[in-house]
Structure formats: C-alpha cells, structure tokens
C-alpha cells in the first residue's frame, strides 16, 4: 500500500537497529526543549537539539517599549540571573544616552551581579544533582541559595526578579547595615559551599559518571564558538570581567578559573570554583565601595537615543551575554538583539553526545550550562 | 484559609445528618434485617464450649476476655493467620509502611528538610495513608496499544512474588509461613521471577522508555543475581544446611558476619541492586528514561508496584538478618508473664477475671521477634542511607561491578569458609562450637 504524501514531506527511513527517542519537551530530564536522540543499543548515534518551546519574543517586545519600560521584561529569560541579564542592557543604554554612572552605584551593581551569579550557579548545580540522580545535591544548593536571595531581597525588595539595575545606576540605595550583613552571609555561604567539595565533587560515583564524558577539546571549543564556563573548562583563559572589564571589575581582585580537561566534571567544577571568586569580589567591593553618595543619575523623561548602534557584553553565569541595540532618534529602540551564552553552548551538544552512552546524556547536557528559557528568549 | 465552607449553616448540617440516619435505619430494618435472618436460617451455627454460637453470644464473648482468649489462641496457630497476619503479609506490610515513613523523614533530615509534616498532626505520620488513598482514587490509565492482560497482571505478579519471598523469612522460632527443607533455594527461585516480571510489563506497555527500563532491569538483576547466590554459598558451606530456620539456629553463639564479612558486604551491595535503589536505580532513572519500566503505570497499579518493592525490601533485609546477623538470636530482654496472673487471674476492684491459656505468645517467640525486628530495621536503615549520599551509577560501570568485581569478591569468602571448615575451626567437632 502506498500513500500519496503531500509535496514537501518525506518519510524518514527507519533502521531496525536504531531507535529514535524524543527526549522532551515533557520529559523530566530535558528542560523546555526537545532532544531527538537516535540510539544504537545504549550508544547515542546522533543527537539533534530542538529548542524554541519557550520563545517569548523578548527582542520584538523591546521595540515597542521605551528604554525604562524595557527593564522588567528583559530580565524574564533568566530570572535566576536577573542582574546579569540586565547588566549589558544598562551599559548599552548608558552609552547610547551618554549617562555617567555614580561610583557607588558601580560597586553596588557589581555586588548585585556577583550575588546573582552565585544564585544562578547554585540553582544550576541543584538541577545537575537531579540529573545525576542525587537528591541531596538538589536540596542543599537550593537551600543555600536562600542566603543570597535574602540579601538581594533586602537590596531590591524582590526575591527573584529584582529589576535592580537601571540605566544610570541602580534603582535604590542599600539598606542600613547592609555591609555587615552581607559580609556575614558571604562568609557563612563560603563555609557552606566548602562542604560540597567533600560530599559532591569528591564522590567516587559522581566522578566516575562525569570524568572523561563529553570531552570538548580546546580547538573544538574555539571552533564551535562556546563561551563561559564551557570555554574555561576546556583550558581557555577567557573571562570578559578580566579581558574587557566593565564598571569597576578592573579595580577588584579575583582570578579566572581555568581547567584543562574539558569533560563534564571540569564543566561542572569551574562554576563551583567561580563561586569562591564571586565571594572574593563581593568582599573586595564592599571594602573599596564609597560609603555614601548618589546611586542613580536621573534621566530625562522618555529619553531618546541618537542615530547610532551599541554593543555591550558582560560575563553572565552562562558566559558572554551581549546586547546589540540600534536606535533611530526615538524613545524606543529600533532593534534589540540579545546574544546569550546558553544558545552558543547548545551548538556543541550534537558533537559531545555522539558516541556517548544514553546514561551520559543528562550529565553532558546539563554540564553545558544551558538555560532553555534564555536560549529561546 | 478557612476549612468551613462560606455557605455553611450548622442547623442544615444537623438536619442533613438526621436525614441520613433516618434513611439508613429505614433501609437497614426493611432490607438488612430480613437478609440477616435469611442467612442465619441456612447457616449451621457452631457449638463452642457446649453453647450454640448465636450472634448474640458471639457479641458477648467479644466483651468477655476469658471467652475470647482461647478462640484467639486457636486462631493464631492456623495457616490463615500465618499467611495473612503475623509472620506473613500483614507484618511485612506494616514494617514496609513504617519503612516508607522513616525513609522520608530520614532522607529529609540528611537534606536539611522537614519531610512530611501536616498529615496526621504529629510529624506527618498519616502521610502514607493519604498517599495510599490518593493512589486508590486515581484513574488507572492503560495505554491504547498495550498488551492489556499482561499489563494488568504485572503489578499483581510483582506483589505476589514479593509476598512469596516474604513467606520464606523466619521471624521467630517456629514462626515462618513456609518452611521447606531447602528454603534458601526457594528464595533464589523467587528472586529469579522479578526480572521476568519487569521485562514482561515493560514489553506489554509498548513504550520506548519502559522498553529501555525493562532491558536495564533485566541486565542489572541477572548481573547481580550470580554474586548474590555465590555470596550466600559461604554461609551454606559453614552451616551445611539450606533451611533458613536451621541457619538461624546455628548462629546461637556467633553470627556468620564474623566469619563471612566479605560475603555480607557483597550480599548487601547485591541487595541494593536487586531492589533498584540508589545508586543502582538505573531501571527507574528519572532524568534518562522518565520512570523506566514503571512509566506507564498509574493509580493503584503503581501503588501495588511500590508495595511490592517495599515488601521486597523488607524481605531482603530480613534475609540479611537471618543469614548474617543471627536472626531471632539475642539476649532475653522480654519480661516473662507472671505466673500469678495465670493462676489467680486479674483482679480489678471487685471483679476477678480468670483467663484460660493466657500466654498468647511464648516468651522466646516475643523476644525473638523483637530481636529480629531491631536487626531488620537496622539493615533497612543501612539500605536507605545511600539514597542521601550517592548519585546514580552508569550502566557500564554497573555491569562491570556485578560481573567482574563482586563475583571475584564472593569467591574469596567461599575459600575462607572452606579453609575454616577443613582447618577444623568451625563445623562438626571444630574448635568453636
């Protein structure tokens, strides 16, 4: 029996050795996306990521709102890293409108961004635990996140979606006694995450599941255009905070974490070590910060950008995060393009998963520091 | 949040209660009573202690302990009671239910949580009952292209096999449901059914995830069954019997874990793998294959599988206790029933009740059960612990562990046992008796 197919549609030839699995979008280990995986026995023959299930048109929405109205919705793609996703937007708009940011605001922005980076990394680590079948690894980071969420709540008034960074500085000044409380919580936080090393990262089963799986070589990491912790885990010393310092990062004392292995273990270990560097940055920023002064430069109502285009990028929890804004003498931007680290790291997934065991799929997938909602924007 | 509905009227509520009571009484007197009398007309009433056992007499005897205790005593030695209640299903299900609750609280404490808290007021003690009611009330969904008879029978077979396994575990001296002379072989035979059930249900569900999960379960269970059987051989060599009750009796002075520690460790790891518990929960690996071979089960079918899993957990922990930890042996801590109570009866104020055949259970039996339960609960806690500290292992490492490392280790203790036997340290006429 032959069926006449509509034009443009062809049937896929089915191999009786190869089974096609649709991992997602309703799968506990897929996130808001689909992975079309072909397996031969337990080995993955090919993997085809299919993102786009949470596309919300953030870029198009930004063309209908003015520069201030854009703030709250632009942080929606990564609510766990909301300061970092707003950071390049603020930098770009400040460049566009020619605004000077007060010195104190610059330091507070850095503190907020680093706190948020830790919150994001812990959330990511928690889900990595679920992907590896380690329920304690989910509960501990998810609980320790609360320390910094409370701090950011005291700073901005919101627990998750802060909208704290605005063009021209920050929305409001720090509360009273914030420095003491912040130092205390950061010190305690550091003590807590030191325990993770012994229980999670030195765990023989976790090591055996992640070490030597999904190896991304140094040349491949550059060729595929990866960014962030994936790049640094493959042995490339690239951190935008060091290489193209923005705001006050050049005054602060911290190191870039680099590992040579390029496997899932290194990719999961680099963000963990970066949390210690974040704590160092926060402590340094708290000591160097001007103790008083203005925190926000007032903008004109409905400010208009010139006839120009700007590109600014920062180092977010998932790598380079850039905003390309085109303005045409109007209060609204003509075009906003968000370049996110997640989408750039997704590209190497078919390369990494080819030839791996099906059991390695979750550990390799989530080690890529991929946030589906951010990738779809 | 208020638990009382906003339109609530107490008077209407009481009126509706009276309404219900009226109709129940009416229907009972018009329909129920005639039915009871018709049934009584055909039933031949038994004669107990020279009295005709009418329903009225039966009710009086329930209130009179001197009449009920002999009846209960004759009941508890029937096979029916053994299967349904004490060493069999009821006892195991009770321990399993306690295990689920303890597991949730225990895991919560490791993970800095509180666990079940609200259901039943005291630390969520009724959570399991709530979960059970939820599972019963849920719809059972059968996939359209499933092989329906096998899909239906899978959970029942699973519980049945787990129940058969439970029946072989001796709890106290003489208290075991089934006591064949080769009960350890019967245990091996029963364990051999579980992979078949997994693969059958996985295939019957006609789903890719269940298929992969079923194959994984098959690989895992077969890979770990051989070291499991080999690890128990050293105990069989030392005791010279395959009967579990006799193995327990042989451990009156020392436990076999002293002479076969490697076997005990190998057996414990095999238990974890056979029970599909973390770190060996590959057949149900959530992030890889949804829920493995349980993916398509819903409602009470899933509940039955869970019940079977926990019965199996109890049975394996009991088997570990019986083989390595001396079963019911232990110091006599249970107080004996005072002889005055039996001879002179119980005096409460002016009333004196003489109860015939009062020691319902003998003192060694109660003490043995206590010892068995304490040891088994300890083993169960050890089985639960890895869930808090280990991630899931990968299939190639799992097979490597099972086929290569554990089989080698199991052989080591067999040679140690043979050495001990032939050197004259243990066994008949040995140095240690």
Give me the count of residues in chain A. 377
| Mean pLDDT of all residues in B41-66 | 72
Q: Is A132 on the interface with B (CB under 8 A)?
A: yes
Domain edges within chain B: 79-335+366-422
Give the architecture (CATH level 2) of A54-345. Answer: Orthogonal Bundle (1.10)
Q: What are the structure tokens assigned to B190, written together?
A: 């029963």
CB-CB: which of B212, B287, B397 is closest to A362? B287
Mutate to test the interface with B, among A126, A205, A207, A364 (most CBs of B within 10 A): A205
Which backbone phi and psi does A191 adopt, to 5 degrees?
Answer: -60, -40
- Kindly determine whether residue A358 and residue B112, on different chains, have CB atoms separated by under 8 Å: no
Most confident of A1-15, B33-47, B263-277: B263-277
Task: Give how far Cα A128 sits from Cα of A42, A213, A361, Å.
Answer: 21, 15, 12
pLDDT at B3: 53
Q: How many CB pairs under 8 A join A and B?
A: 79
Residues B167 and B88: their CA atoms lie apart, in Å, by 5
Contact between chains at B394 and A136 (C-beta distance less than 8 A): no
Q: List, for residues A170-196, the tens digit of each pLDDT value.
A: 888 888 888 888 999 999 999 988 988
Is A360 close to B394, i.e. CB distance below 8 A? yes
In this structure, are strands A165-166 and A335-339 parallel, antiparallel, or unpaired? unpaired
CB contact under 8 A, B112 and A139: yes
Report pLDDT digits (tens) over A273-309. Answer: 999 999 999 999 989 888 888 888 888 888 887 888 8
Answer yes or no: is pLDDT of A353 > 60: yes
Q: Who wins on pLDDT, A206 or B347?
A: A206
Mean pLDDT in residue range B246-266: 85
Is the pLDDT assigned to residue A345 strictly greater than 60?
yes
Distance from CA of B142 to the nearest CA of A (A): 19
Q: Are A49 and A39 in contact (CB under 8 A)?
A: no
Tokens 């974490």 sit on residue: A257
Is the CB of residue B110 less than 8 Å away from at least one CB of chain A? yes
Provide the shortest C-alpha distance from residue A227 to chain B (in Å).
Answer: 25
Check if A36 contacts B (Cβ < 8 Å).
Answer: no
Closest CA to A368 of A178, A228, A182, A245: A228
User: Residue B329 and residue B369: Cα distance in Å, rounded?
Assistant: 9
CA-to-CA dists, residue B394 to B220, B228, B417, angstroms: 11, 20, 33
Residues 191-230 in A contacting B (C-alpha not used; CB under 8 Å): 199, 203, 205-206, 208-209
pTM for the whole structure = 0.82
In the predicted model, what is the mean pLDDT of residues A98-106?
88
Instruction: Compare CB distances from A357 to B290, B388, B394 and report the shortest one's residue.
Output: B394
Q: Nearest residue on chain B to A359, judged by CA atoms?
A: B394
Contacts of B260 (CB under 8 A, 6+ apart): B234, B235, B238, B324, B413, B416, B417
CA distance A121 to A118: 5
A188–chain B nearest CA distance, Å: 16
List A residues 346-375 in contact with B (Cβ-Cβ < 8 A): 357-362
Contact (CB<8Å) B391/A133 = yes
pLDDT interval class at B23 (50, 70, 90)? very high
Nearest Cα residue in chain A from B111: A136
Q: Confidence class of residue B430 from pLDDT cuts 50, 70 and 90?
A: low
């Amino acid at each position: 029996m032959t069926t006449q197919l509509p034009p443009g549609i062809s049937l896929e030839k089915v191999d009786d050795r190869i089974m096609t699995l649709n991992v997602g979008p309703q799968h506990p280990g897929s996130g808001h996306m689909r992975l079309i995986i072909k397996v031969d026995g337990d080995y993955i023959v090919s993997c085809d990521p299919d993102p786009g299930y949470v596309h919300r048109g953030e870029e198009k929405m930004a063309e209908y709102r003015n520069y201030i109205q854009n703030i709250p919705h632009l942080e929606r793609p990564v609510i766990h890293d909301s300061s970092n996703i707003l950071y390049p937007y603020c930098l770009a708009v400040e460049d566009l409108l020619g605004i000077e940011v007060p010195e104190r605001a610059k330091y507070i922005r850095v503190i907020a961004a680093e706190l948020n980076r830790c919150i994001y990394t812990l959330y990511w680590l928690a889900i990595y635990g679920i992907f590896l079948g380690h329920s304690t690894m989910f509960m501990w980071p998810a609980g320790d996140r609360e320390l910094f969420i409370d701090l950011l709540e005291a700073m901005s008034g919101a627990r998750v979606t802060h909208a704290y960074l605005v063009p021209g500085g920050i929305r409001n000044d720090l509360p009273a006694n914030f420095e003491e409380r912040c130092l205390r919580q950061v010190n305690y936080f550091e003590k807590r995450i030191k325990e993770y090393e012994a229980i999670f990262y030195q765990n023989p089963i976790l090591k055996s599941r992640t070490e030597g799986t999904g190896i991304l070589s140094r040349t491949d990491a550059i060729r595929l255009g990866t960014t962030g912790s994936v790049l640094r885990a493959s042995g490339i010393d690239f951190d935008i905070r060091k290489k193209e310092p923005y705001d006050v990062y050049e005054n602060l004392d911290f190191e870039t974490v680099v590992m040579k292995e390029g496997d899932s273990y290194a990719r999961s270990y680099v963000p963990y070590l970066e949390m210690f560097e974040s704590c160092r940055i926060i402590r340094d920023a708290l000591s160097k910060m001007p103790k008083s002064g203005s925190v926000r430069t007032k903008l004109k109502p409905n400010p208009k950008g010139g006839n120009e285009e700007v590109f600014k990028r920062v180092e977010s929890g998932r790598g380079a995060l850039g905003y390309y804004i085109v303005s045409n003498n109007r209060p609204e931007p003509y075009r906003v393009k968000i370049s996110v680290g997640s989408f750039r790291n997704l590209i190497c997934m078919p390369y990494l998963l080819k030839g791996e065991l099906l059991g390695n799929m979750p550990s390799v997938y989530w080690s890529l520091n991929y946030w589906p909602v951010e990738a779809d924007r | 949040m208020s638990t009382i509905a906003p339109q609530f009227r107490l008077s209407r509520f009481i009126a509706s209660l009276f309404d219900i009571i009226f109709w129940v009484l009416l229907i009972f007197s018009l329909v129920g009573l005639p039915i009871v009398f018709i049934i009584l007309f055909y039933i031949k009433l038994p004669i107990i202690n020279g009295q005709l056992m009418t329903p009225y007499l039966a009710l009086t005897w329930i209130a009179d302990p001197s009449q009920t205790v002999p009846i209960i005593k004759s009941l508890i030695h029937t096979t029916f009671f053994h299967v349904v209640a004490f060493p069999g299903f009821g006892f195991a299900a009770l321990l399993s239910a306690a295990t689920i609750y303890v597991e949730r609280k225990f895991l919560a404490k490791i993970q800095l949580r509180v666990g079940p808290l609200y259901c039943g007021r005291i630390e969520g003690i009724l959570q399991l009952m709530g979960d059970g009611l939820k599972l019963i009330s849920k719809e059972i969904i059968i996939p359209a292209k499933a092989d329906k008879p096998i899909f239906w029978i899978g959970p029942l077979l699973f519980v049945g096999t787990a129940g058969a396994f439970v029946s072989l575990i001796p709890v106290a001296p003489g208290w075991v449901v089934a006591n064949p002379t080769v009960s350890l072989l019967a245990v091996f035979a029963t364990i051999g059914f579980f992979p078949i059930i997994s693969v059958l249900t996985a295939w019957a569900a006609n789903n890719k995830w269940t298929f992969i999960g079923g194959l994984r379960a098959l690989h895992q269970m077969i890979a770990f069954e051989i070291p499991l059987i080999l690890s128990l051989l050293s105990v069989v060599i030392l005791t010279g019997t395959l009967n579990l009750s006799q193995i327990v009796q042989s451990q009156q002075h020392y436990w076999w874990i002293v002479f076969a520690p490697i076997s005990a460790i190998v057996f414990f790891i095999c238990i974890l793998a056979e029970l599909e518990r973390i770190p060996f929960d590959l057949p149900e690996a959530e992030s890889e294959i949804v829920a493995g071979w349980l993916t398509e089960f819903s409602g009470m079918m899933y509940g039955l599988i869970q019940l079977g899993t926990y019965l199996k957990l109890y049975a394996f922990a009991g088997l570990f206790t019986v083989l390595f930890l001396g079963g019911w042996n232990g110091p006599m801590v249970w107080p004996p029933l005072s002889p005055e109570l039996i001879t002179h009866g119980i005096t409460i104020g002016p009333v004196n009740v003489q109860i015939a055949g009062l020691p319902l259970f003998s003192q060694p039996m109660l003490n043995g059960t206590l010892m068995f339960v304490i040891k088994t609960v300890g083993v169960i806690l050890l089985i639960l612990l890895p869930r808090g500290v280990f991630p899931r292992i990968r299939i190639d490492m799992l097979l490597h562990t099972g086929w290569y490392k554990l089989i080698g280790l199991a052989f080591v203790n067999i040679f140690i046992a043979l050495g001990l036997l032939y050197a004259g340290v243990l066994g008949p006429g040995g140095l240690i008796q």
